[in-house]
Structure 1
Amino acid sequence: MIILLASPPAQQRYIRIKNNWQTVWFYSNLLRNSVNSRARDKAEERQCNS
Structure 2
Amino acid sequence: MNKSNRRHYKAPGTVTDYHEFERSHWTCAEPGWEEVADYALEWALRHAEA
Larger Rg: 1
Higher relative contact order (CA 8 A, sep 6+): 2
Same fold? TM cut 0.5:
no
TM bucket normalised to smaller: 0.3 to 0.5
Greater helix proportion: 1
